[in-house]
Amino acid sequence: MRRRLSRLWRYVRQISGDDAYERYLKHHAEAHPGEPPLACKDFYQRELERKWSGVKRCC
């Protein structure tokens, strides 16, 4: 039961983008070791700019 709940929580965080920064840090550490990652604030803003530069919402 607890495992299920924690899986559901992980899913909710991922789908809402709540854990985006954590995932970015993990990806950054793997793909570009040695380079300093963006701060959370800057990452958040850069992501929003990218997300909203294309068609993201429909009729």
> Cβ distance 26 to 43 under 8 Å?
no
Q: Which two tokens stand for residue 52?
A: 């909203």
Q: How far is the CB of 34 from other proteins (least distance, A)?
A: 16
Interface with other proteins by CB under 8 A: which residues? Answer: 11-18, 20-21, 23-24, 27-28, 31, 40-41, 43-45, 47-59
In the complex, minimum distance from the CB of residue 50 to other proteins, in angstroms, rounded to a whole number: 6
Q: Cα(29)–Cα(37) distance, rounded to whole angstroms?
A: 8
Q: Residue 36 CB, nearest distance to other proteins (Å)? A: 15
